Structure 1
């Protein structure tokens, strides 16, 4: 895996899944979690496409589609100029203008259907209607904020001119489409330290493809000094107040220089910043000189910084499990790793669903088990393999989701989350459940923790949310959830499939059960599996790469009382369940999950 990572780094690949691993100052002994980068359709990469021109089409619908691409198709300070080139003179005061500024914000929408056009009226005016889903606001700092508008339809009017078509009436907002975002922007991942400053947490940004290579370093430095995305800020630590770049970053090839003002620029702070820069600039090799007020204070060997520790915490090599007739069993899929169940047989009974995780030399085990009166309870144990000591929740619940562990740096600070009877609860190394207040609508039915342990995704009221997690001094707290736009309704399950992308299940626009892939800001969505035939009741993914026999973008799900997997799409059969005792009754594997 390390060789493949290095090859991708040297190739300068910029991918939404980002790069994961540890770039760690020697004195901290910390880890950085994340995913191996993976190139998939919609990864928002590649060379910049040519900007559309008003003369590229003389038909109303393609003309408006090109207009929706125009604002995103180049440097931000020319966005209004490009958009206004599509407007007739009488319409140019309808678009709010911020000429020659990079502070422009783009309203990103997802087209829900092909735009519809009406024939020209007696005055020669065409009308084009677009039905949209609001995706978000793309800001100057490369973040995609929550939508600021609520419109589900926009109307344009056009007329013919000597040069072709021109827009005569339009919405009073600078629009672009999610398709244009994919076409004209590159996704970037920058990293901020968590609240304990012991682990890096990824933050997804977007950079115009037209930005030349020598300016990318400057943009990343601006992002880091400007602080984390609004939604993530609760769970991470920004640079000291007053930290600002002095001029642009300089350099080329294998030697770069960054000059900053930074109050309280101690050696420890500079070392942490060096680690952030190394991982936020994965395409760079060689050395980076870090200056404070024009004085060189630190030289960062970028490759060595990224190579200090493995890309995954110890024990990240994944294996598959499922529940069969109330007992957790390993699965035998191809040449993938197969681990024994980390529980004694006496504790592996009456299981409905389970979640195992590795933390240092310990295993964290959380299971939903049958309780009294046809209810369920949470059962939790931690310790060396096999985990022998367990506790149960004091009360039983009518329903409970598959638990998730917030991956800790050590077994002494283990914590997890679970949804029970429509509410979210936190637990630690015991099964004591503590209610987590949430400002969301509807019942919480699923929750999943990211590999870094400082972000969660949850499903409530049929919608999907992400939220930051602060783990400071062993105290776990949750920041405000952010609802993500998705074409799915009635979402039932979610998990992390890469560092910055989710896999979720619900109903597609045709009301068919489907599984989609979605970036954690909602910018890009694609269908992974459609026409499943029944609602997905559980979903589990591995948020890493295809190392050691496990294909990238691997996930499993439960529907209609049986387990399925992708790569390839296939039913998990009883013959793939290991360790079945002779004479076991015939059943379907259920509740599949990964251990890593």
Structure 2
């Protein structure tokens, strides 16, 4: 199985694909957006286009529908919105054309609630919003440009007494779309770009209107790849070589796609990379994929299922494996996968506060935080466990958070990230810490790394960010980050739970754990009863297309107690540790983490 099979299965729900790490553990199933739909002219549960103005039965429904009117094919967005406007104000809506069409996506803080306009039949709506981003014609959702936190609209009849024929009586400054409408009338779709070293694919999320017929979707996706990556990912990924253009459209016959490009090259290695990029990015391929360059066949994939298994987007094998620190040593959590082990020799596996493990058992990457008097120090053990040396950072710190390893393609120059005393640092095999500029103000309190190794999430100054990163000769560069706009405050921990999804610890009126997309379009509670003390760490195994269904429970720690999932109120105990002989010391396991 692979990603598109999971998407097609989700489409059977006729509503949405489930987001994040499988089915939420502490809440009901959450819908993440509409799934693939049938050809144009068919009917599905969501409807093909936003409802027409005349279908609204009252002012509140018209207001809700108005905030969905811009959805769909971008070249008709203004026409759909103007249908809702009274004729005398339609000219006041500033209009753009083609690729310049942008839609301001907003999250409503509460449902529209009208108040009567004195002396008339109209209703006034004061709508409070969070600006989420701007949806562009190429399907990218960029950072917000608008700054308004409140919009005022008046809804009423143009002719007195015609309460069955309502219009919006004042024009907005631009196109508006609610996040609910985005999730209803668009399909979230992942395309992939090679990193600048051409060694790994990096995911890029786009939004395709569900009104686009299946016969055109592949053509749209190839166009996205040709046009290039989203702005925030551009510094760390490579565009297709110039000149590359699509010749004609991408016909689909019995699941077979034929892609005819004007370039880029005849080089076999580059053609192989292009084929891999296309195969992972294109929807609905369940048979052959033929790649042509100037109408000449240069690559034929006979079975895309087999091809994608042989060319995985992420190098992942086996089941997710959980670890914890108990009595100063790293232990596997039960149940352990067959053959799983702790790649740290006993002489090094002691006096540990938190840890991160990467690499293979034969060439392990181990980073641990250990006490140094009343302070803390970072240590690394890199290489075969039996001969790995104990490297230690020169500086000590009051507090060092759990380290993480970046998934890079250079086994001879491993790189990790760690937060120490409010500063983000990179470290290598020698355990020496160098500060990393996050490009934002405020103390850094948490960092997490995506599966691709080229995106991070971090909390700085109490705010949540995602950023693209590049690694060159062991040096980590964090490119200008993108703010993730969340309704929660007091953020304390973050980890990746999917390709485009984060699990975060924060607070509304009390500490909680919730999930949010990196583009801020969707957030939902995952656990509210975590106690009165903030969650100090989170650990998740990201849902991914290489091992679909391999999602694992979210682990967390609060008030010195580690928990193995979000459904249980019982903490992890000594009996859950592999290799702990009874009677075990009465200590709490801490610092849970995944190895992958």
The 1:186–1:354 alpha-carbon spacing in structure 2 relative to 1, beyond 3 Å, is same
* 1:330 matched residue in structure 2: 332
What stretches of structure 1 of length at least 5 have no aligned partner?
19-34
Per-residue deviation, 1:197: 0.3
Which position in structure 1 is the counterpart of 2:233? 232
- Name the structure 2 match of 1:287: 288
Q: Is the 8 A contact 1:471 1:477 kept in 2?
A: yes
Q: Secondary structure at the match of 1:412?
A: coil
CA RMSD of aligned residues (A): 2.8
- Rounded to whole Å, the distance in 2 between the matches of 1:408 and 1:415 is 8
The aligned residue for residue 29 of structure 1 is: none
What is the distance in 2 between the residues matched to 1:458 and 1:71? Answer: 33
Determine helix, strand or coil for the equivalent of 1:116.
coil
CA displacement at 1:116 relative to structure 2: 2.8
C-alpha deviation, 1:5, in angstroms: 6.1
- Residue 446, structure 1, aligned to residue 446, structure 2: yes
Contact 2:99–2:138 under 8 Å retained in 1: no
Q: Deviations over 1:266-317 (max 9, x none)?
A: 3332221111110101520222222233333332333342121456525453
The answer for the alignment partner of 2:56 in structure 1 is 57
> Which stretch shifts more, 578-587 or 540-549?
540-549
Q: Do the aligned partners of residues 316 and 471 (structure 1) sit closer, same or farther apart at CA in structure 2, a change above 3 Å counting?
A: farther
What is the TM-score normalised by the length of structure 1? 0.89
Equivalent residues of 1:320, 1:330 under 8 A apart: yes
Where 2:215 maps in the other structure, the secondary structure is helix
The corresponding residue for 1:417 is 417
Answer whether contact 1:315 1:358 (CA < 8 A) is retained.
no
- Residues 150 and 440 of structure 1: CA distance in aligned 2, closer, same or farther (over 3 Å): same
Figure out how many residues of one structure are paired with residues of the other and give that number: 572
Aligned to 2:404: 404
Change (3 A) 1:226 1:312: closer
Once the two structures are TM-superposed, the CA of residue 114 in structure 1 deviates from its matched residue by 2.0
- Secondary structure of the 2:31 match is coil
Unmatched 5+ stretches in structure 2: 38-43
Counterpart pick for 1:42 among 27, 31, 44: 31
Q: Which deviates further from its counterpart, 77-86 or 354-363?
A: 354-363
- Are the structure 2 counterparts of residues 386 and 61 from structure 1 closer, same or farther at C-alpha, using a change threshold of 3 Å? farther
Give how far 1:144 is off. 0.6
How far did 1:214 drift? 1.0
Displacement, 1:203? 0.8
Q: Are the counterparts in 2 of residues 17 and 500 from structure 1 also a CA contact under 8 Å? A: no
Deviations 1:453-502 (A, max 9, x none): 11111111111111112234554332221111111112111111112211
* 8 A contact 2:200–2:313 mirrored in 1: no
Aligned pair in 2 of structure 1 residues 201, 548: CA closer, same or farther (>3 Å)? closer
| Residue 519 of structure 2 is aligned to residue 521 of structure 1 | yes
Per-residue deviation, 1:441? 2.0
TM-score where L is the length of structure 2: 0.89
Report the Cα offset of residue 145 of structure 1: 0.2
Is 1:307 the counterpart of 2:309? The answer is yes
* Contact 2:439/2:479, CA 8 A, preserved across alignment: no
Q: Which stretch of structure 1 is more off in the superposition, 187-196 or 474-483?
A: 474-483
C-alpha separation between the residues in 1 aligned to 2:288 and 2:57?
A: 51
**What secondary structure does 2:270 align onto?**
helix
Q: 1:487 and 1:196 mapped to 2: Cα distance? A: 37
CA contact (8 A) 1:323 1:351 kept: yes
Shift in alpha-carbon separation, 1:177–1:6, aligned structure 2, 3 A: closer
Match of 1:320 in 2: 322
1:395 aligns with 2:395: yes
| 3-state SS of 2:273 partner | helix
Check whether the contact 1:71–1:80 (CA below 8 A) recurs between aligned residues. Answer: yes
- Residue 119 (structure 2) pairs with residue 122 (structure 1): yes
Structure 1 position 367 matched with structure 2 position 368: yes
Range with greater deviation from structure 2 (251-260 or 267-276): 251-260
